[in-house]
Amino acid sequence: MITSLAPTYKKVFGDYWVLWYAISNSYSVINSDFKLLLDTYLASETTTVFSSTISNELSDSDKAQISDTLLNYLECCNIPYTSATTNLAKLDTSLRNISKQYIFDTKNVQIHYSSELVLKTIHPSIAHYCNSSTHKADVTFDIYLQNDDLYLFKDKHLISCVPKSDYHLIQGKFIMQLLCVLHNKVEQDWIGTLHGSTITDGNSSMLFVGKSGKGKSTLCALLAANGFDLLADDVSPLLSKNQHIYYNPSAISLKEGAFNLLQPIVTNFETLPIVEFNTTKGRLKYMPCRIPRKQHYPCHSIILVNYQPDSETKLETVSIKHILETLIEDSWLSPNPKHANQFLNWLNGVTLYQLTYSSTASVVTEISTLFKQAPQTL
Amino acid sequence: MKKDNNSDKITRKEAISKMGKYAALTAVGTFVILNPLKAQSSSPPDPGGGLFPPVD
C-alpha cells in the first residue's frame, strides 16, 4: 500500500490516538478501531490483501467502501502544507503619524502607527508599558494601513501584510515578534502559539482554552484578582527548548459581557478605559496584571473553560479529542517535525480537564486546589 | 537491521479479523483531521465586529 501516506508520528492518549502528518502539518484524532483498520490498510500490499484480512461478515461493497474511506482520509492528511506568503513591499516612513515608546524590562520598543484606528490594533493591550522615554529604541515597529492592507515592519523589514479585515493576523505576528524580542528568541525557537490564556501560581502554570465567548479571559481576570499571576492572555507561547509557556505582556482583553461580573471583584475596574471597536459591537477593556516572578513556567494542565450562568462549578477530566478540537485550529503550530514531536510529548504530560463554572468564589477554590496538586518545580 | 515483529502481526491480524461488521463500518467514520493556523493570530473579532467591519 502507499506507505508514503502514513503518519509521521503516532501517540496514544487513553482511548484515542493522535497522529501527525509532516507533509500537511495536520493532526488527526482517531479511536483504536480506526487505528487498527488504518495500520492494517497501510501494512497490506494491495487493497485485495486488505479486503481479505478484514472481517468476513463484511460484503465486498462494505470492504470497498472502507478501503475508499481510508484512502480518502490519507489523501486529506497529505495535502502539502504551504506557508503564508508575504510580498516584498518597502517601508513607507511617511506614514509615521503617531509614535509610541514602550519599555519592557530592559527592552525599549518604539512603534509608529499610521492612524488612531491602526493604533487601536496594538496599543491598548500594551498601553501599560507605554513610556514617554526618549531613549534610543532597541527595536522599531511600523504598523500602517495602505490601500486597505495592513503592514507590519520590524526594523524596516516587512514581517506581514494582510487585508485590513484580518487585523488579528497582524496582532498575532506582532505578538510573536515582541515575544522574540523580550525573550531573546527567534520564531523558529517556538513550538507554537496556543490559543488560550495561561495562569501561574509561581510554581507551575495552567492553560485555559475554549472557543470565543466561553469565559477564558474572564476567568483569568478573576484568578489574577485572587492572587494568581497572568502568564499570557489569548496567545500562550510554548518554547521548544524547555516546553515552558512564556510571559506574554499583553493585558487581559475583556468583552463587555464580563464587565458586571468583574466590576465588584477587580480593584479599580471602573477606571480601566473602554476601547470602542465600532459603534455597535466590540466594547473592550484591557486589564493589565502584575508581572509574574519568572518569565516562564512548565504547564501541568489544560482546562477547557465553559462559563454557564447559574451552573454548579464542575471540574472533570476530558478527552484529548475534545481538547484538540478546540485548541488546534485556533493555534499556530510549527510545521517542524521536531516541534510536532515535542508538542505531542508535551500534550502527553499534561492533565486535561473541562471546567464548567458560574460562581466566582468556588471556581477560585477549585483552581487553587488543582495548583496545589501540581509537582513542585523549584 | 530489518526487524520483523511476527507476534505483532499475528495480534493485529487476529484483532482485525475479529472486528465485526458494525464496528468496522462505524470506525471509518470517526476520524477528525485538524489543521493549525499557518500564521500566528490573536482571537479574530466577532462576525460583523472589529476595527474594520465590512461595508454594507
A316-345 pLDDT, tens digit each: 999 999 999 999 999 999 999 999 999 999
Same domain for A367 and A264, yes or no, is yes
Please tell me which residue, B16 or A95, carries the higher pLDDT value.
A95
Mutation site, A18, A37, A123, A344, interface B, largest B CB count within 10 A: A37
Task: State yes or no: ipTM above 0.90.
Answer: yes
Among B26, B30, B54, beta carbon nearest to A165: B54
A81-88 long-range contacts, CB within 8 A, separation 24+: A81/A23, A81/A24, A81/A25, A81/A26, A81/A335, A81/B38, A82/B38, A83/A335, A83/B38, A83/B39, A84/B38, A84/B39, A86/A158, A86/A159, A86/A160, A86/A161, A87/A158, A87/A161, A88/A158
The pLDDT of residue B8 is above 60: no
Residue range A116-130: mean pLDDT, rounded:
95
Chain B residues within 8 angstroms (CB to CB) of chain A = 9, 12-13, 15-21, 23-46, 48-54
Please tell me which residue, B36 or B8, carries the higher pLDDT value.
B36
Q: For residue B17, which residues of chain A lie inside 8 Å, CB to CB?
A: 53-56
Mutation site, A168, A211, A254, interface B, largest B CB count within 10 A: A168
Residue range B50-56: mean pLDDT, rounded:
64
Our CA angle for A24, A26, A27, nearest 5°, is 155
Same domain for A46 and A116, yes or no, is no
**Is A37 close to B50, i.e. CB distance below 8 A?**
no
Query: What pLDDT score was predicted for residue A46?
Result: 92
Report yes or no: A26 and B37 within 8 Å, Cβ to Cβ: no
Q: Decide if A60 is inside a domain.
A: yes
Q: Phi/psi zone of residue A202: left (φ > 0), alpha (ψ -120 to 50 degrees), beta? A: left
Q: Decide if A131 is inside a domain.
A: yes
**Is A58 close to B21, i.e. CB distance below 8 A?**
yes
d(CA A125, CA A104): 13
pTM assigned to the model: 0.93
Shortest CA gap A359–chain B (Å)? 25
The pLDDT of residue B3 is above 70: no
Residue range B16-30: mean pLDDT, rounded:
88
Within 10 A of A26 (CB to CB), how many other CB atoms are there? 23
Same domain for A121 and A236, yes or no, is no
Query: What pLDDT score was predicted for residue B2?
Result: 44
Q: How many domains does chain A have?
A: 3
CATH number of residue A284's parent domain: 3.40.50
Position B47 confidence tier, pLDDT thresholds 50, 70, 90: low
Mutation site, A36, A209, A343, interface B, largest B CB count within 10 A: A36
Q: For residue B38, which residues of chain A lie inside 8 Å, CB to CB?
A: 81-84, 332
Same domain for A220 and A303, yes or no, is yes
Last residue of a domain, one of A184, A213, A228: A184
Shortest CA gap B26–chain A (Å)? 9
Cell numbers for A16, please give them.
Answer: 484515542
Average pLDDT of chain A? 93
Residue found by looking up cell 465567548 in the block:
A213
Position A2 confidence tier, pLDDT thresholds 50, 70, 90: confident
Of B46, B26, B38, B52, which is closest to residue A331 (Cα–Cα)?
B38
The range of the structural domain enclosing residue A159 comes to 93-184
Same domain for A217 and A349, yes or no, is yes
Shortest CA gap A336–chain B (Å)? 12
* Upper half-sphere CA count for residue B8 (Cβ side, 13 Å): 7
Same domain for A174 and A224, yes or no, is no
d(CA A346, CA A226): 28
Q: What are the tens digits of pLDDT across the range A12-57?
A: 999 999 999 999 999 999 999 999 999 999 999 999 999 998 888 8
The pLDDT of residue B52 is above 90: no
Among A36, A57, A330, beta carbon nearest to B20: A57
d(CA B6, CA A103): 63
Same domain for A216 and A337, yes or no, is yes
Same domain for A288 and A225, yes or no, is yes
The pLDDT of residue B1 is above 90: no
Q: What are the tens digits of pLDDT across the range A249-301?
A: 999 999 888 898 899 999 889 999 888 876 555 788 999 999 999 999 999 99
